[in-house]
Structure 1
Amino acid sequence: MAPVASAMPAPANGVHSQEVEESPALPAVAAKKMDPSLKFLIYGRTGWLGGLLGKLCEKQGIPYEYGSGRLENRSSLEADVAAVKPTHVFNAAGVTGRPNVDWCESHKVETIRANVVGTLTLADVCKQNGLIMMNFATGCIFEYDEKHPLGSGIGFKEEDTPNFAGSYYSKTKAMVEDLLREFDNVCTLRVRMPISSDLQNPRNFISKIVRYQKIVDIPNSMTILDELLPISIEMAKRNLTGIWNFTNPGVVSHNEIMEMYKEYIDPELSWVNFTIEEQAKVIVAARSNNEMDASKLAKEFPEMLGIKESLIKFVFAPNRKTKAASK
């Protein structure tokens, strides 16, 4: 049986980007006329989100370059900005840990260096150069509470104060988000449990849970990258700033995703549920479970699909391996 991911050993080497695996090579695309009014500087070249952003820029004909500087090294960031002369900066770098956030519990200084010092340094360099920074953050800084009970449909809003500090990763993310509120040039995008149509990517939430021995079954807000990453580019074009819950509207449970996987991909899939209390015995850091209020993003982008509809359209339908049921 596949191991419970949280019980897997942490890597011996340090983690220096939000996602450390190399992104796949960019597919061949037809030459496009570049948009001279835009140029993106992207941090997180070897990460999942950073790699996907590069592909989207290629597809949309947006000039871009990856930053070569380290986030905590101010002079290297200043050199990147001077050399690239971007119109916008995307930060998809940071530390999440390998194989999961438990890594951060035993590497606190490294986590601070990347998630707090590095992010703030980049924001300040952008501020001094009159640049908007699109910052991929996390919504894993909240957990269901009395004002936002599970199943109520009441989600956490952008102005709510984080109430989850069960993991050191989440603690640093909440800390830096609060400090970034003072930067009027930053657009903070709260990503949650990211999912993409690439079901082979080990960072994909679906790829993770189908390998677990046991899963908890809790409704959560999630981010379908195939739909929302292009929206982040459009947000940059519109020069939007401030905090945004960057999730599809609504919630979906772990079991519901597994049922979809069974219907579209593998009819033989089976799984076992366990409780949060049982889960706590095999993980180091607690995990966040919450519903985010996506109404602000939905108002700006009314075409955005709800989480279950987006899962089917962008993830499961394109990957279908089973025969569709006859009507």
Structure 2
Amino acid sequence: VRTTAAPWNQSQRVENGTQVLGRSEGQTHAGKAHVESTDPSGGRERRMTQPKFLIYGKTGWIGGLLAKLMEERGLAYEYGNARLENRTDVMHDIKSSGATHVLNAAGVTGRPNVDWCEDHRVETIRSNVVGTLNLADCCYLNNVHLTVFATGCIFEYDDQHPMGSGKGFVEGEPPNFIGSYYSKTKAMVETLMADFPNVCILRVRMPISSDLSNPRNFITKIARYEKVVNIPNSMTVLDEMLPYSIDLALEKKAGIFNFTNVGVMSHNEILELYKEYVDPSFTWKNFTLEEQAKVIIAPRSNNELDASKLKAACPGLLTLRESIIKYVFQPNKKV
């Protein structure tokens, strides 16, 4: 294990509030990333023509989608085998794979939902805090860039960011929601991870994909609920957004990004589109947050995240409504 400072410190600069590691002249849109990075042997720049990705989260939804994207784009990758809290095994994964980039889509979200974390706190800490920080440190010591698929469910509407105001939380604001133990651990670990100069933190919210059969899909979830609240929220359309995550990784961006589409949509607005495009006979009922609180253990986060920073890095980023129609409802249109 190295005890000297990792080579990230030799080539780090800041652009528009975002750490950039080594030298990047890439374009942040699918398929057009050009990357140069720092040579760990002496701080000299070299062209990196063959990036290699190591993906954690093999059995998860996002992990599987990332692997599919790697294959479509002809990028070398393999899945990590280590449990993230096992430092020896993580080190072995990184070294034996020859990875230049790690994508972390692993972690505990709870089954069937985050209420599981309320009664499994030690397991949640082990995965979401110990494991995540261990991976970040191992990547740092090996001069490897790490992208973490984190959560934006660490904020809630408040007096400075009222619902419907269009004023979203920006990346530098401290989390203000710890209503669930899941969110509490995620907020804690994000604060610590942000100090690693080799880590890019992507705050995902209420992820959506074109696969309406997937039970993790936010649209699928609310379409199956007996009742839903009706609150505008920021969300992440994975079909559009995951390619951007690979580009950000190739460009070795670091720091925090609100990884959501532009703008917000309410539950009712989404279900109205579901009814219009997928099932004209579909109906649903609303209930209040107070009524919802009676059937869940932990409160849920509701917020708007400001996507301006991500939009600047990824100019093609669509509004939430545009993205949902283009990537989800039009491909699933049955009406």
| Band the TM-score falls in, shorter-chain normalisation | 0.7 to 0.9
Partner of 2:256, secondary structure, is strand
2:107 paired with 1:94: yes
Identity across matched positions, percent: 66
Partner of 2:281, secondary structure, is coil
Q: Which residue of 1 aligns with 2:75?
A: 62
Q: Which residue of 2 aligns with 1:244?
A: 257
1:296 aligned residue (309, 315, 332): 309
Q: Which residue of 2 aligns with 1:174?
A: 187
Q: Which residue of 1 aligns with 2:328?
A: 315
Cα drift, residue 282 of structure 1: 0.3
Partner of 2:188, secondary structure, is helix
Q: Which residue of 2 aligns with 1:32?
A: none
Cα drift, residue 182 of structure 1: 1.2
Partner of 1:308, secondary structure, is helix
Cα drift, residue 37 of structure 1: 1.5
2:191 paired with 1:165: no
Q: Which structure 1 segments of 5+ residues have no match?
A: 1-34, 323-327
2:195 paired with 1:191: no
Q: Which residue of 1 aligns with 2:9?
A: none
Amino acid corresponding to residue 44 of structure 1 in structure 2: G
Amino acid corresponding to residue 269 of structure 2 in structure 1: E
Once the two structures are superposed, residues 256-305 of structure 1 have per-residue CA deviations (whole angstroms, 9 ceiling, x without a partner) of: 00000000000000001000000000000000000000000001111110
Cα drift, residue 141 of structure 1: 0.1
Q: Which residue of 2 aligns with 1:40?
A: 53
1:229 aligned residue (242, 258, 262): 242
Q: Which structure 2 segments of 5+ residues have no match?
A: 1-47
Between the aligned partners of 2:332 and 2:121, the Cα distance in structure 1 is 38
Amino acid corresponding to residue 97 of structure 1 in structure 2: G
Amino acid corresponding to residue 62 of structure 2 in structure 1: L
Q: Which residue of 2 aligns with 1:112?
A: 125
Amino acid corresponding to residue 51 of structure 1 in structure 2: G
Once the two structures are superposed, residues 39-89 of structure 1 have per-residue CA deviations (whole angstroms, 9 ceiling, x without a partner) of: 100000000000000000000000000000110000000010111011100
Once the two structures are superposed, residues 16-56 of structure 1 have per-residue CA deviations (whole angstroms, 9 ceiling, x without a partner) of: xxxxxxxxxxxxxxxxxxx9521100000000000000000
Once the two structures are superposed, residues 71-121 of structure 1 have per-residue CA deviations (whole angstroms, 9 ceiling, x without a partner) of: 000000001011101110000000000000000000000000000000000
> Which ranges of 4 or more aligned residues in structure 1 deviate by more than 6 Å?
none
Between the aligned partners of 1:250 and 1:195, the Cα distance in structure 2 is 15
Between the aligned partners of 2:313 and 2:94, the Cα distance in structure 1 is 29
Amino acid corresponding to residue 234 of structure 1 in structure 2: D
Amino acid corresponding to residue 112 of structure 1 in structure 2: I
Partner of 1:207, secondary structure, is helix
Between the aligned partners of 1:81 and 1:143, the Cα distance in structure 2 is 36
Between the aligned partners of 1:40 and 1:181, the Cα distance in structure 2 is 21
1:268 aligned residue (281, 293, 297): 281
Q: Which residue of 2 aligns with 1:18?
A: none
2:66 aligned residue (53, 62, 79): 53
Partner of 2:143, secondary structure, is coil
Partner of 1:190, secondary structure, is strand
Amino acid corresponding to residue 214 of structure 1 in structure 2: K
More strand by share: 2
Amino acid corresponding to residue 255 of structure 1 in structure 2: N
2:213 aligned residue (200, 209, 224): 200
Partner of 2:158, secondary structure, is coil
Between the aligned partners of 1:90 and 1:197, the Cα distance in structure 2 is 22
TM-score in terms of structure 2 length: 0.85
Q: Which residue of 1 aligns with 2:5?
A: none
1:155 aligned residue (168, 171, 174): 168
Q: Which residue of 2 aligns with 1:17?
A: none
Cα drift, residue 231 of structure 1: 0.3
Partner of 2:253, secondary structure, is coil
Amino acid corresponding to residue 275 of structure 1 in structure 2: T
Between the aligned partners of 1:130 and 1:248, the Cα distance in structure 2 is 31
Between the aligned partners of 1:311 and 1:105, the Cα distance in structure 2 is 32
Q: Which residue of 2 aligns with 1:214?
A: 227
- The total of aligned residue pairs comes to 288
Cα drift, residue 181 of structure 1: 1.4
1:284 aligned residue (272, 297, 316): 297
Q: Which residue of 2 aligns with 1:6?
A: none
Between the aligned partners of 2:181 and 2:171, the Cα distance in structure 1 is 21
Between the aligned partners of 2:78 and 2:154, the Cα distance in structure 1 is 31
